[in-house]
Amino acid sequence: MARRVLRQDIIKSRAFYDPASLSPSEELHYLQWVASKTNTLVTGSKCSCQCLFCFRKYYPKESKIFYLPEVKLGQLRRIFPYLRKDRAIRIGMFGNIMDGDFFDHDQAMPILESLRQRFPQTELVINSSRGTNLNKPAIRNMADYKNILLRLQFVSANKKNRDMLVKRPSTDTEITSVLGWLRKYQLPFEIELVAIPHLLGWKDIERTFFFLDDYAPVRIKVYLFSFTKYYIKELTFSNNKKLLREFYSLVNKVSNKIGTRIDPFPRPVSKGDVQPDLLRVKQIRRTYKGRILFLVSQMAYPAIKKHISDTDGIKVKMAKNLFFGGNISVAGLLTAEDYLQAAGKEEFDVLVVSSKPFNYAGYDLKGDHKRLLKQRLGKKVLYI
């Protein structure tokens, strides 16, 4: 199958990343570009659940995150040629497109069938579903398609807690039945467990691990609940460090007792994780003789600070996620403005920051271009 080439002039224009200005043909171009870059098929942001903690209600409204209406099968077929058959095809969201539930798409099963016809051997990974609209025949069909991995979101083994946090459509089957059919038809699935200890307590989360283990998922990815500064007070917590420690301790304890692998997120940042950044900044040190200011995310700061000292001529400073706020602490959700705030009145000659907050065309989620850093600071800026 010949892969198509996308027009770079369109991709690099600002309008390409500004959803409000996309015409239907540009939108298709955008989705083709996403497919060619990430092997992801984006089908839309539709979701029929109502989760108490859903990010959609609590993100900065001035950000460039957008709701994508359902993309019809006819359009999706025009995206297929940009997907690669030699690596897993993900069905889900990308970058600044809001997450949805694939099975809320009116044509979910025909899309899968069509993908399977076009890519008979390729692994299909269905990201982040709450299991809405899933029933026995659908799961049996998917198992027949072979080489499909389903990522299923979950919150608690306790039905009362589930009902409090996640309102599923009233026509939906109980999620426990969905789990039962997944086990019966041996459709591989991963669980994405949102751990909300300040509302549910650690005991509930511990019970949930044991409960899920009985259904034999491929693994459980457990995410400590994260929130922006726009979340209502009842959903937030203040002692992030203590909660993180308790989170890792629970994961370690349960991992020794159940057969299913558990992967916690955020992961504790080790020297290995930051090694590429350390090497890169030390390389920069050898090339540039002036004072270097290295701005790092809150998450990576302790591990990086441990291995670079001011005596190396590199000042390491933490950049806080002020735009999103809350307990968000990762590099990918920083903005150019956050970096400017962190640079403050520091004196330096070269600024080093992560390239993660900036997309292919150089824009962050606030819609600012990375060139803003050089313009405002008047210094050399390097991205690692």
* Footprint on this chain of ligand SF4 (rule: CB under 6 A): 47, 49-51, 54, 56, 99, 101, 130
User: What is the smallest separation between the CB atom of 47 and ligand SF4, expressed in angstroms?
Assistant: 3
Cα–Cα distance between 224 and 258 in angstroms, integer? 20
Helices 108-118, 136-145: crossing angle, 10 deg rounding: 10
| 50 or 249: CB nearest ligand SF4 | 50
What contacts 24+ positions apart, CB below 8 Å, involve 236-245? 236/326, 236/327, 237/198, 237/327, 240/327, 243/197, 243/198
User: What is the smallest separation between the CB atom of 230 and ligand SF4, expressed in angstroms?
Assistant: 14
User: What is the smallest separation between the CB atom of 105 and ligand SF4, expressed in angstroms?
Assistant: 13
| 48 or 255: CB nearest ligand SF4 | 48
| 49 or 352: CB nearest ligand SF4 | 49
| 217 or 336: CB nearest ligand SF4 | 217
| 36 or 153: CB nearest ligand SF4 | 153
User: What is the smallest separation between the CB atom of 337 and ligand SF4, expressed in angstroms?
Assistant: 26
Fill in the DSSP letter of residue 166: E
Cα–Cα distance between 68 and 70 in angstroms, integer? 7
380-383 and 350-353 strand pairing: parallel
Cα–Cα distance between 186 and 201 in angstroms, integer? 31
SS3 state of residue 297: strand
User: What is the smallest separation between the CB atom of 285 and ligand SF4, expressed in angstroms?
Assistant: 43
Fill in the DSSP letter of residue 66: B
